[in-house]
Amino acid sequence: MMIENANETPAAPSVSIVIPAFNEEATIRACVLAAIAQTVPAHEVIVVDNRSTDRTPEIVRELQAANLDSPIILLRQDAEQGLVPTRNLGLDSATGDVIGRIDADSVLEPTWVAAVQQAFADPSVSAATGPVLYYDMPLRWFGLRADDTLRRAMLRLAREYHFVFGSNMALRAEAWRTIRTEVCRDLDDLFHEDIDISVHLHEAGLRVAYVSTMVAGMSARRIDDSPRDYVNYVGRFERTYAHHNVRNRALRVPGWVFLAVYPIAKSLRWGQSELAARRGTASASLRATARD
């Protein structure tokens, strides 16, 4: 009989990373490279391509060939178009103890897997989420601190509901199996699928932890939407709550914040683009002068 050492430190949970992707050739390379460039390696990095018509799957294959020691897996979800079935295939296929789920424009900080392992060392934690750094906006690190502060404030307001953020979240595999048949299919594409997951975690009595060190970069490209499209996007919050008959008014705060920051963020992004264009023009003029 083998007697285990009572003082032995439990093994850290293995962490899979799932990346749903549809026509993400502009961002998927940076996303996957960041996922494999971790201080603690991920158990596997699963890209689930959903009927992409651009070079997304080819780029992933190139990364597989160039990084043979990295566990990059490419799956295809061609049965139907949509984030939810694509996400579900990735989560169902993952073999890690914990399943990270990020977007195809997410760029994880190098210590992300280590932060996830540390969070899930607590057996009471079933899911975790963290702040985001908008890497294509000015004042990025100030923005990260502001994002972290805002998310902490929203958690205090929401009290019993703790949300996971789709661009930066992780679930214990057994927690996913618990809610797998309950999460909404959302055939009409009306909801925030991450809020839907959060509600089902809450209803199942599963604890969500907020982890400030679990940092993911993401694009602010949503700000480029027209005002009408952006308002419709923010409306997903209310539609998800209404579907689940969630009446906590504090949960409306994230939607209000998203609407409030839109004109400010759009102005900053416009200013950044204008500055980059002027610098490009100036550089071109200098090169032309040098040639003359």
What is the tens place of the pLDDT at every residue in 224-248? Answer: 999 999 999 999 999 999 999 988 8
Residue 5, pLDDT score: 52
Contact 165, 154 (CB under 8 A): no
Q: What DSSP element (H or E) covers 35? A: helix 28-36
Could you give the CA distance from residue 147 to residue 131 in angstroms, rounded to a whole number?
Answer: 6
- Using only C-alpha atoms, the chain has a radius of gyration, in whole angstroms, of 20
Contact residues for 21 (Cβ-Cβ < 8 A; gap 6+) = 28, 47, 48, 49, 50, 52, 56, 60, 86, 104
Neighbours of 242 (CB within 10 A): 12
Given a cut of 80, is residue 4 above it in pLDDT? no
Contacts of 71 (CB under 8 A, 6+ apart): 41, 42, 43, 44, 45
Four-residue CA torsion sign, 170, 172, 177, 178: negative
Short-list 166, 1, 187, CA closest to 80: 187
Instruction: Please give the torsion angle defined by the CA atoms of residues 71, 100, 179 and 205, in that order, rounded to the nearest 10 degrees.
Output: 140
Measured CA to CA, the distance from residue 212 to residue 215 in angstroms comes to 7
What is the reported pLDDT for 88?
Answer: 98
Q: Do β-strands 44-49 and 72-76 pair in parallel, antiparallel, or remain unpaired?
A: parallel
Q: Which of 3-17, 39-53, 92-106, 204-218 has the lowest mean pLDDT?
A: 3-17
Kindly state the helix (H) or strand (E) to which residue 132 belongs, with its residue range.
Answer: strand 132-134
Q: What is the residue extent of each domain of the chain?
A: 15-264
Q: How far apart are CA 87 and CA 187, in angstroms?
A: 14
Q: What is the reported pTM?
A: 0.89
Q: Distances from the Cα of 238 to the Cαs of 233, 234, 242, 251, 286, in angstroms?
A: 10, 8, 6, 9, 52
Report the C-alpha gap between 203 and 77 in whole angstroms. Answer: 29
**CATH class of the structural domain 15-264:** alpha beta
Residue owning tokens 């839907």: 196
pLDDT recorded at residue 271: 75
- Digit-coded pLDDT (tens) for 217-226: 999 999 999 9
* pLDDT, tens digit (0-9, with 9 covering 90-100), for 171-201: 999 999 999 999 999 999 999 999 999 999 9
